[in-house]
Structures are given as structure tokens and as C-alpha cells.
Amino acid sequence: MREAMSLLEMIFVLLISSILSVATFKSLNVLYSYSARHKALAQLSLEAQITLNQLESMLYYRVPGTLIGYTPGGECESISEMTQKRPVLEWIGLMQEANIRRAYDGFADIMSTKPKLKVYNLDSSYDFNSSVLIFAGSLERGLQNAKACEGAYGWHGNESTQIFDFNVTGDNEIVFDSSKTPRKIYEKYYLAKSAFAVTRAQNVDMNAECIGRDLPKEEIDDDTLLLFYNFRPWRGETYCADTSGRKEGNVSMLSKDVKGFRVIYDNDVLKIGLDMNRSVGGRSVHIGKQKVVF
């Protein structure tokens, strides 16, 4: 009876074990890579959805007719008349908190020209300091004579014929600044304090003061989607990392790994699209999502 294996048998067992180990390792590596890619895909999907939800919320509280597409250092076009892709989306936002609190109803109930133009129905206990009043249509087309990039709202050096400074009296009246009063008072009006801009970092001035002040500069690359706020085009300002103009305001990060950002206006509906891409284990994971804003 044999008490031990021969050298040849031992070599054969070791060879079989090695082959099985290599096969097991490769199988586990494939499973790990598969799991990592699907985990990254799920994470990308979640991040894209969160970003789209944030944009939807902000754009829902926009002043209709003020939405534009802009090319840094170049031209802007109203979103309803845009003929080419513009990398920057800009709009003027409603005073959301005041709107939700119903501090004003947005309708000109009474008007007067003596001694000054007035609009009623305002909660004078609310702080409307530094806000402005805007007359605009209910849709992005706005008023027929209020071209967004042609002197209506002050975008990028243009005039702001549809935006007016005002004071609030104790009788809940909006009294317009005597230096600039509207020729007509329309039934619908909006109050605003800030404009907003969204674009990828590759389209901004990375040496702008606000980038290092508001965000860790080392965390930003070309595919970072940025939100700019606290600037007032009707005062001749542009967003703080524009490549030209009088830069003002702040910046925050919306998302990373954004390879594409697009907005389409079709039949009075905005369609926001995001393309996100991330490298996992030497392979690319990609997802595209779209959301509609009414």
C-alpha cells in the first residue's frame, strides 16, 4: 500500500490547482468589474436625476421671457428664438420665498398716473429691498416688444426697458422710481432680485475670483456643471466667472462628470438634458437623462 504521492503526482495536483486558481481569480475579477460598473451606473443615474430635479425647481420659478442661451464673450439669443447651441443658460428668477408666502399676488389690481404710477396688493411687512419689478408674458415668448437679448432685461450690456425699480409704501403700494417708469402697466407682473446662469466649467474664466472663493478650485474640471447667482443684468452685471463684462455674484457646484448639458424649447415646454460619463476600471460608464419643465 502506498503511503505518499509520487513527485509526478504532486506536480500534476499543483498544476491543476494553479489552473483552477487562475480561472477563479479571472471569474471574480469579471464579477467585480461588472458590479463596479453597475454600481457606478446607478450612482450616475441618481446624480443626474438629482441635478435635473434641482434645475427643474429653479427654472420653474423663472420670470417667463427672460430665459436666454449665451456664448461667453459672444452673443445671446432668447430661448424661444435660439438658432444654434449656446453653452450657457441664463434666466431671471422670481422672488421665490415671497411668491410662496404670497407676499404679493403678481396682478396689477389698481393703477394710477397721479402723482406716480402705482400697483397695489403687496404685503408691506415683507422686505422687498433691492428687488425689481418686471413686466413679461406668461410664456417664454414674453411680450412681443420685449426681445430678451435686445434691450428688455439688460443681458450682457443691453438695456433693461422691462425692469423697474420701486418703493413700497405703508398702504401696500408699489411706487415706481420717478427716473424710470413704465409706459404701460400690464395685468401681470413679477418681482425679482437675482439672475442665474448654468454652464460647464470649460466655458468659464477659471481665474475668476469667485471660483477660488466659493469652491475648492482643485475639485473643478471641464466637466463640472456650475450654477451662478446673485448678479443683476439690469445693473450692467454678468455672472462672476464670465469671460468678459462686469462680473458679480457667487458660484456653486451642481454636478461633476457632465459631458453634455443642453436645453431645448419646444411648444412652450423646456427640455433639459444631461450626459454624464465616468471611468471605472479603465472602462467608460455613460448615462443620458432628460427632464421637462413647464
Residue 115 has pLDDT above 50, yes or no: no
Does 283 map to a domain? yes
**CB pairs under 8 A, 24+ apart, for 259-264?**
259/223, 259/286, 260/288, 261/87, 261/89, 261/198, 261/199, 261/200, 261/225, 262/85, 263/69, 263/79, 263/89
Least confident of 18-22, 105-109, 232-236, 288-292: 18-22
Tens digits of per-residue pLDDT, 36-78?
677 888 888 999 999 999 999 999 899 988 999 999 987 899 9
Helices assigned H by DSSP within 90-245: 96-100, 209-214
pLDDT tops 80 at residue 133: yes
Please check whether residue 11 lies inside any domain of the structure.
Answer: no
Average pLDDT over residues 226-254: 96
What's the mean pLDDT in 137-154? Answer: 76
Q: What is the mean pLDDT of residues 107-118?
A: 61
pLDDT above 70 as % of the chain: 82
Q: Which residues contact 7 (CB under 8 A, 6 or more apart)?
A: none
Query: Which amino acid makes up residue 222?
Result: D
Of the listed ranges 16-20, 79-83, 133-137, 271-275, the one predicted with least confidence: 16-20
Does residue 220 register a pLDDT over 60? yes
Residue at 174 is within a domain: yes
pLDDT of residue 91: 96
| The pLDDT value given to residue 20 | 62
Domain that holds residue 51: 47-293
Structural domain includes residue 105: yes
Mean pLDDT, range 140-169, rounded to an integer: 82
Range among 88-97, 190-199, 262-271 rated most confident:
190-199
Lowest mean pLDDT, pick from 114-128, 214-228, 239-253, 265-279: 114-128
Report pLDDT for 137. 76
8 Å CB contact between 79 and 271: no
H-state helical runs in the chain: 7-60, 96-100, 209-214
Highest mean pLDDT among 35-39, 132-136, 186-190 belongs to 132-136
Q: How many independent structural domains does the chain possess? A: 1
**What does the pLDDT read at residue 31?**
55
Q: Which of 195, 161, 191 is nearest to 88 (CA)?
A: 195
Q: What is the pLDDT of residue 53?
A: 95
pLDDT exceeds cutoff 70 at 26: no
Question: Would residue 15 count as lying in a domain?
Answer: no
81-92 pLDDT, tens per residue?
Answer: 888 889 999 999
* DSSP for residue 130: T
Dihedral angle of Cα 168, 171, 177, 183, to the nearest 10 degrees: 120
Instruction: Say if CB 292 and CB 269 are below 8 A apart.
Output: yes
In 110-257, which ranges are E strands?
Answer: 111-112, 118-119, 132-134, 163-168, 174-176, 190-200, 225-231, 237-239, 246-248, 250-255
3-class secondary-structure state, position 57: helix
Higher pLDDT, 82 or 18: 82
Place of cell 467585480: 32
Q: Judging by beta carbons within 10 Å of its beta carbon (0-12, 13-18, 19+), is residue 91 exposed, middle or buried?
A: buried
- Nearest C-alpha neighbor of 270 from the set 50, 67, 84: 67
Please indicate, yes or no, if residue 16 is contained in any of the structural domains.
no
Cα torsion for 43, 46, 47, 49, to the nearest 10°? 160
The pLDDT > 90 percentage for the chain reads: 41
In a domain, residue 196? The reply is yes
Peptide bond into 64 cis (omega under 30): no
Q: Is residue 270 part of a domain?
A: yes
- Give residue 261's pLDDT: 94
Instruction: Give 22 or 64, the one with higher predicted confidence.
Output: 64
Cβ 60 vs Cβ 140: under 8 Å: no
| Angle subtended at Cα 272 by Cα 294 and Cα 138, rounded to the nearest 5 degrees | 30
Q: Give the up-direction half-sphere exposure of residue 195: CA atoms within 13 A in the CB hemisphere.
A: 28
